[in-house]
């Protein structure tokens, strides 16, 4: 019997979890059909994941070919502590420099910072925003099992 329903995040828990500054794994599909997985910073807003990348990066090349992606965000040191979310979704590439700059500012260490740091600002013309709209979301919170697994 599946216990999946016992460990799923509620919609409010999901939004709270994704709003925290965690590292994400972004999976795209390369031209040979293999997964290409990279660590990324992100910003969660209104049910959507935003990331920035250099426009010529392999992950962006992969998305241009196939916009289906997965994002996994997980925390915890032991199985009993694992909490996370996997999003399967569609990725849109946004090339507008103003949107890139704003996303970099929001995804930075401090979402309240007034501007993008000068070193990062110089890279804005070479960067894009990856806007990931969820299609299917899976979540898990093993702490809800109370050590019963």
Residues whose CB falls within 8 Å of the CB of residue 10, separated by 6 or more in sequence, listed in order:
none
Domains, the chain: 4-145 (2.30.110.10)
For 89-112, write each residue's pLDDT tens digit: 999 999 999 999 988 887 764 444
pLDDT digits (tens, 9 = 90+) for 69-95: 999 999 999 999 999 999 999 999 999
* pTM, 2 dp: 0.88
SS3 state at 71? strand
- Per-residue confidence (pLDDT) for residue 4, from 0 to 100: 74
Long-range contacts of 18-25 (CB under 8 A, 24+ apart): 18/44, 18/49, 18/73, 18/85, 19/44, 21/109, 22/73, 22/74, 22/75, 23/73, 24/49, 24/51, 24/71, 24/72, 24/73, 25/71, 25/72, 25/73
Low-confidence residues in the chain, pLDDT < 70: 1-2, 108-119, 147-149
């Amino acid at each position: 019997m599946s216990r999946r329903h016992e460990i799923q995040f509620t919609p409010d828990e999901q939004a709270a979890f994704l709003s925290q500054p965690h590292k994400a794994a972004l999976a795209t599909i390369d031209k040979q059909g293999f997964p290409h997985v990279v660590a990324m910073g992100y910003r969660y807003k209104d049910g959507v994941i935003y990331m920035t990348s250099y426009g010529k990066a392999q992950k962006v090349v992969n998305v241009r070919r196939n916009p289906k992606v997965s994002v996994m965000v997980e925390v915890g040191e032991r199985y009993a502590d694992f909490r996370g979310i996997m999003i399967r979704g569609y990725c849109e590439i946004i090339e507008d420099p103003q949107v890139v700059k704003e996303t970099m500012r929001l995804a930075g260490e401090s979402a309240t910072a007034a501007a993008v740091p000068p070193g990062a600002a110089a890279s804005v013309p070479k960067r894009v925003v990856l806007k990931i709209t969820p299609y299917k979301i899976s979540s898990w919170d093993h702490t809800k099992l109370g050590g019963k697994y």
